[in-house]
Amino acid sequence: MRSLLLHPHAKKVLLVFCCLPFILFVYKIIYDDLGPNPAEALIRGTGDWSIRFLCFVLLVTPLRVFTNTPALIRFRRIIGVSVFAYGTLHLLCYSGFDMEFEWGDILKDITKRPFILVGFLGWLFLSLMAITSTNAAIKWMGVARWHQLHKLVYAVAVLAVIHFYWMKSAKHNYQEVIVYATILGGLLFWRFLRWIQERVKQNRESIHI
């Protein structure tokens, strides 16, 4: 397993996997297979994949810890950038199909509709993390500040669930919301418990010193 994860082409395979939903969207556009409302299908589809990849990226650390597989961490950046990529596609589809790139109307929509505002804030946080995802950015910021900034992913998870909930509430369809809220809530709760354990350990060590 470790040899597969450290294989020179492992990241390329993951990148292809991350691109598959986009390729599927392109295929459906070319063959007119998006259903009766193509615009809505693209807006919803790109949004769905952004939250799915958000689940994947938050799963990397728990999976690494439980399986004792440090090599998994080398794939987190690709998955994280994929969250941003599909989130950006989601924003572009909304801006183009719903608002026809009327920037004044888009700005008004962001300020008037809370679920659009929440989604936009989540995208802004993703943008900050994507911009600083390079090795050069880590070196420039310093590891400690970089880690602090990238904890914005936790805020993005909360905002994504709220955005998804408000979007689905219009049709009183909460099944998918419950699924994603449970997954993301569980992943965040695991991190909270781990943080408490680390604090307790630090306090014990300081007492012994």
Condensed to tens digits (0 to 9), the pLDDT of residues 177-203 reads 999 999 999 999 999 999 999 888 887
The two tokens of residue 112 are 């008037």
Percent residues over pLDDT 90 in the chain = 86
**Alpha helix (H) ranges present in the chain?**
2-5, 10-30, 38-67, 76-93, 103-112, 114-131, 135-141, 143-150, 152-169, 175-208
Q: What is the pLDDT of residues 49-108, one digit of tens each?
A: 999 999 999 999 999 999 999 999 999 999 999 999 999 999 999 999 999 999 999 999
Mean of pLDDT over the chain: 93
Chain position carrying tokens 């992913």: 153
